[in-house]
Amino acid sequence: MNEYKQTIEAYDQIVESGKKCALVSVVHLDGSSYRSPGARMLVAEDGQMTGAISGGCLEGDALRKALLVMVQQQSKIVTYDSTDEDDAFFGAQLGCEGIIQVLFEPVHSNQSSNPISLLKKIMNRRQNCILVTIFDLKNKLQPQLGTCLLVEESGEIHGQILDEVLKNAVLESVEETFKNKKSTFIAFESETESKTAFIEWISPPLSVVIVGAGNDALPLVNMVDALGWKAHVVDGRHNLAKEERFVNACQVLVSKPENILANFEMDDYTAFVLMTHNYKYDLGLLKHLIFKQIRYIGVLGPKKKMERMYDDLAKMDIELTEDQRANIYGPVGLEIGAETPEEIALSIIAEIKAVFSNKPGGFLRTKADTIHSRKNTEIHHKKIG
């Protein structure tokens, strides 16, 4: 989400200066690459680039093609094949071996549903949504439909697909994607043509409520902000819970533990980290949190503190179910040998990311499969018309 924010800010500056720009997007990958489908880069006509579509090996050529797209005012799809020895220089820096489909789209500021306008709507709504990008791999020289549709979980649709048959088929697949909660690629095939759709599942940025405004919360807040997540800090101490101590985007609140939950809208993407170093304060909040559908509750401190908390909850006649215990991560963080506040913040951030990504948080070298499963980028085929 941080990339979206940076892209939107850069776009607004480009429009204000009266310059042209193009959006460059990775729309499909067969094999391995540094960036996955959904990676985007905004290119201005003066050569300014925001975002990245690779580790640096594609950007130079992508810049040249983006400038050409701005001149021609026509979208195009380009294939980068780092498995081909003739194109080996593209993947040489990272040793990638993948076939990468990259879409280049001129962005028209006067169009209400241009790609950046759709990204803005994603940022302004805190809900799951699906972004549809359509391209033609058989006719790469022809103008591409590109980033054409945004469907919100509420049912609201932005953008358009003029071909009604294709539109209805796409919306049917969008419905399936909302159920599966993961991106998919579908080639919609009629008797005369084939259009491939990248149906991209996009969830809201994580919202991390950091309970504790001490100095050790500062690096955690900074890392949350750097990732484009939403940071909130709450504490009962007025001298610590001050906005000037934290990044501008951070919400800072002074509150008693029993009143905290009334100040936040919680959803499936909300995490809490309890780190006040005040046992009674943390316990006072925990006894309320466990009855909410909070996927991640981190508790800073040793295992003895966590055991004591469970004992004290039991004395209050609060017996936690297995599901409730499964959402509590105490001691908080992954085991990386963290000692300093910055290292502890890193271990907490890594654990939160692993939990919300449904990953074990282990060593990649011990993983039997590829880093990103190839099944996730398989193109499924559907007959239409």
Give 122-134 pLDDT, tens digit per residue: 998 899 999 999 9
Per-residue pLDDT of 317-356, as tens digits, reads: 999 999 999 999 999 999 999 999 999 999 999 999 999 9
194 and 317 together in one domain: no
Q: Please write the tens of the pLDDT for every residue from 3-50.
A: 899 999 999 999 999 999 999 999 999 988 888 999 999 999 999 999
Number of domains in the chain: 2
pLDDT of residue 85: 57
Looking at the fold, whether 37 and 109 belong to one and the same domain comes out as yes
Q: What is the mean pLDDT of residues 186-198?
A: 94
**pLDDT value for 210:** 98
pTM: 0.90
277 domain-assigned: yes
Shared domain for 197 and 238, answered yes or no, is no
Q: Give the mean pLDDT of the chain.
A: 93
Classify residue 78: in a domain, yes or no.
yes
Residue-level pLDDT at 97: 72
Q: Is 369 a domain residue?
A: no
Stated length of the chain: 385
9-12 long-range CB contacts below 8 Å, 24 or more apart? 10/42, 10/44, 10/48, 10/50, 11/42, 11/107, 11/116
- Residues 136, 173 share a domain: yes
Res. 87: pLDDT tops 60: no
pLDDT at 89: 45
- Interstrand relation of 270-274 and 296-299 (parallel, antiparallel or unpaired): parallel
Domain that holds residue 13: 2-202
Q: Are residues 220 and 185 in the same domain?
A: no
Q: Looking at residue 84, what is its pLDDT?
A: 62
Distance, in Å, from the CA atom of 189 to the CA atom of 84, rounded to the nearest integer, reads 28
pLDDT band at 91 (very low <50, low <70, confident <90, very high): very low
Among the residues of 240-362, which ranges form H helices? Answer: 279-289, 303-315, 322-326, 341-356
Residues 60 and 137 in one domain: yes
Closest CA to 210 of 277, 262, 290: 277
pLDDT above 70 (res 94): no
Tokens 């909070």, located at residue: 294
> Is the pLDDT reported for residue 199 higher than 50?
yes
